Chains A and B, each alone.
Chain A
Amino acid sequence: MLRDDTKKYLPLTESTYYIMLTLVEPLHGYAVMQKVEEISKGTVKVGPGTLYGAFTSLEKEGLIIKVKEENRRKSYVLTPKGKKVLMNQIKRLEIMTQKGLSVTDLL
């Protein structure tokens, strides 16, 4: 019954994908922004408006959960459902990059 419940979230946007990647550990907003820039090697920057929107919808969909609130900063972490969505996204990306890399010689 729960087999396809992650499908409707896929594919994730590039920002959402990186935001979720950082939330394997609890982080607050600004830390997420810095980490996304770092792990994407500067290819993706997330502005506060985009991040706040992402937090709101990810939380509403039950993909992340608030773990604490300190100095007016909320920290979030992935839920089991969020982990499942992220895992499926990674699999999709793997297929994409494998195929892509196999033709790079022809480009």
Chain B
Amino acid sequence: MAENAIRKIKWFWPWQDEQEEAWLRSMSQKGWHLSSIGLPCIYRFRAGEPQDYVYRLDYQTLKKEDQQDYLQLFSDAGWEHLCQMSGWHYFRTEAIEGEVAEIFTDVESKVTKYKRLLIFMAFFVVIEAICVAIFTHNVWGDYPYSWWGIIRVISLLVPLVMGCLIYAIIKLMLRIRQLRRL
């Protein structure tokens, strides 16, 4: 990797999007500007002049034909689209004299963003639940295949993922409650 680029690994939970935005801004203030995101936790930065860039995240899973209009609207409003990572869209704009622009200007639309995410996660919980049901019934029986051990390891991971998902769902719901109370 060239000297004018770095890679950072950092994990943010879905309800920590504001912390993530603040972290990206502080990186830009130091002269490291987000260029892309690989996996959910691998951020690539390019070196440049320190800038007070403001970052905002939206969660949208759109069809291709809808996405053009969506991105056009953000670009018209002065937001540069940096990258997309499994439904999360990363936008950037410059803070003018310290004044920060927002992509969500009311609580309800912010809540709706989290709700879109909740629907997606609830869908995964259902899939996970089906996996758990299948695994617990079949995996621990007597199977003569040597690779069955790997399946057993995977079957142990499923409840772990399930636990994380449920934790994330609860945390997101609490975040929504907190937003509404403000």
Contact = CB atoms under 8 A, between A and B. Distances in A.
Interface in A28-57: 29-30, 33, 44-54, 57
Interface string A4-15: 000000000111
Interface string B154-165: 000000000000
Nearest to B72: A72
Interface string A50-78: 11111001000000000001011110000
Given A13-B106, A14-B106, A53-B113, A48 B68 contact: no
Contacts of B105: 15, 44-47, 50
A45 B100 CA distance: 13
Contact of B103 (A49, A71, A73): A49
A29 B103 contact: no
Interface of B: 56, 58, 60, 68-74, 76-77, 79, 101-106, 108-109, 112-113
24 contacts: A13-B106, A13-B108, A15-B105, A15-B106, A29-B72, A30-B76, A33-B76, A33-B77, A46-B105, A47-B105, A48-B73, A48-B74, A49-B58, A49-B102, A49-B104, A50-B103, A50-B104, A50-B105, A51-B73, A69-B69, A72-B68, A72-B69, A73-B73, A74-B69
Interface of A: 13-15, 29-30, 33, 44-54, 57, 69, 71-74
For the complex of A and B, 6 pairs with smallest distance between CB atoms: A49-B103, A30-B76, A50-B109, A29-B73, A72-B72, A47-B105
